[in-house]
Structure 1
Amino acid sequence: MSESRKPARLRLQLFPRAETAVRKGHPWVFGDSIKSQNRDGEAGEMAVMYDRQDRFMALGFYDPDSPIRVRIVHCGKPATIDRGWWLERALLAKERRAEVSGENTDGFRCINGESDGFPGLVADRYANTLVVKLYTPAWLRHWEEMESVLRDVFEPEFLVLRMSRNLSESSELSEGFRGSRGTKTVVFQENGIRFESAVVHGQKTGFFLDQRENRARVESLARGREVLNVFSFSGGFSLYAARGGAKTVTDLDISTHALESAERNFKLNASDPQITKVSHECVQADAFKWMDETDRKFDLIVVDPPSLAKRAREKDGALAAYRHLNRRAIAMLRPGGILVAASCSAHVPAAEFLSMIRELAEHSGRNWREHWTSGHAPDHPAVFPEAEYLKAVCLEFD
């Protein structure tokens, strides 16, 4: 009987345009960008890409069932992708967060997917718990090694594995705590404010850490103002506004679960006299309908809806929704009022979103000035266009 042979290394050649994109640092290769390959590949297999002169170009995770056929791990000279490789990259990611983490902040993103060299994987820290979410089946065959690396570098007491829906339905790996079991809800700090994170079943990894800097900016604007937080979720902007000296804060969300979480977060900060003296109101309603029908006025309005364009074809509808919400918000501002408008829709480019908000301001008939714009937080780097999703702008109206 002949010995079974290990299959030949999966070898790909790309069309010229894709080859150029990879050399420039783009981390994705789409299926229709592959000119030829020597055999069929399996999910998570490391594919080797060569250029037109048959020279080594890049290595990446192969996924036969995804439009993103390869997620680049390394480009340049030949390299060995092993535990030491991943350990070095995880340590670099940790070093990049040195200025974010600290005594008053123990909730932040540790690894941001492709932008930190870990394609299709994010890791968020909440106090003593690390939550890792996988977005590609490529990691399933490498998970044991990666879990070991993450534990060594970030040293969490507890580790939670989560997966995108398409993975959790087909994977043999189970979601939830790996090894020691912690609590399903973890309390962490962000700039000294306490929040809860539903690390096992909450949205994303349990909390939206990417708006930390914008929440701090709202805190600096809130003194003496009546504040409306539209699509408030768990009250992040509201708590910062309260600590910043707001007169009142109103959370507006359609979700009972979200508003109850906001109430609990305010109770978590009961030891802060500045927060406890602020009147906090929760309004459960559809934001579009409520804003259209109310005659209430505010001094500071934050409009931060969930992603309104999950696909490219939904961009026009998202822009129309952003226009509707922010036009109404401007009309609800008292003289001297401030609008903070944000978008987390990757398919709505920052330039188009900001242009639309400025156009609304111009057409409002009021004098206005722009205080700032912002993009990604330091722990949420975006090193290629498709990774850029977060943008916000702050305008003041006479």
Structure 2
Amino acid sequence: MLSEQSVPVVRATLPVVGAAIGDITELFYRKLFEAHPELLRDLFNRGNQANGEQQRALAGSIAAFAGMLLERPDARPDALLARIAHKHASLGITSGQYKIVHHHLFGAIAEVLGDAVTPEVAAAWDEVYWLMANALMAIEAHLYQEAGAAEGDVWQRMEITERREETPDAVSFLLRRTDGRPVAAYRPGQYVSVQVELPDGARQIRQYSLSGAPGRPEWRITVKHVHGSGQPDGEVSSWLHAHARPGDVVTVSAPFGDLVLPEGDGPLLLASAGIGVTPMLAMLDHLASTGAARPVTVVHADRTPAHHAHRNEQLALVRALPDARLHLWYEEPGDQAPEASTGLADVGTLELPSGLTAYLCGPLPFMRAVRGDLLRRGVPAEAIHYEVFGPDLWLGRP
């Protein structure tokens, strides 16, 4: 909770800070990487830095957190914080790095806003930062404890035991530990980080959902080859598609992620598009392997049946559940999928049970459209959960 003296200052300056936050974060990252080039080389996603997505995500998270402190002073924005904390834990972020961020972020604020940053304003926004940072550090400490890892020590060496070409641009890899120990348990819907060394010596990291049910002797991830739109192709996905083969060893984090199935027997909606199918596959596999009888509505949208990664597996898992329905949309169904609808997914046309919990994963336009349909249908915002691959440009949404 913000102190009484900081509330009016943050309320008065939030529009000014919000208007300049893009310039502040751009300058912040430039100064940060000048002082600590190893962070850009080995921690931050260089592609997201180049296209500006990481800057927009940071700006959105700060502004959203400050707004929530003002709008709901007695409630901690756990949904916002949990998504960030899980991502941080999967990268091995440590508490000491928050001090580095604070130094360069507040230097950028002072440089961009100039004389507007009075001692009173600086103190109020310093309080906002440390409220957010301390909350994140507390959540991350708990996540590290749950993973049985010291702070930031989440990495393990894993061998690729199998490579499967799923679609023209998606490849699955089965992974097992090189030390012979069993793979760690995880909750269906969680992801791991994969770190690879690139030709220039950088160790870049990306997150991939575990696309099978927990309890298997190996983990499975499915990697879509990211083709940049006006930007270079994805560095890590390109390397994995071109070079990763059975017998190779990669560095992988412990599992993290807060998009996980709830306990109970209430109805579910699992809605995905493109490679967003992967966490939904883990959920479906878990439901089928545990004999769950809860009602499940499954929605998937893709370009064509040939681009639908794990299409046959998803169909089989839905058939294995006693009360599950699958609704498919393809931009070009062709003759392979006569049961599918043509075009974009339209959840507004479906019969949905009351009291459902919805899980969304896919491109942001898809998730915004589905979320909007669900809200119009009367599904409460707190019952709609999502996962974003990459920087969360949707931060602040409940």
Structure with greater proportional strand content = 1
TM-score calculated relative to the size of structure 1: 0.36
Larger Rg: 1
TM-score calculated relative to the size of structure 2: 0.36
Higher relative contact order (CA 8 A, sep 6+): 2
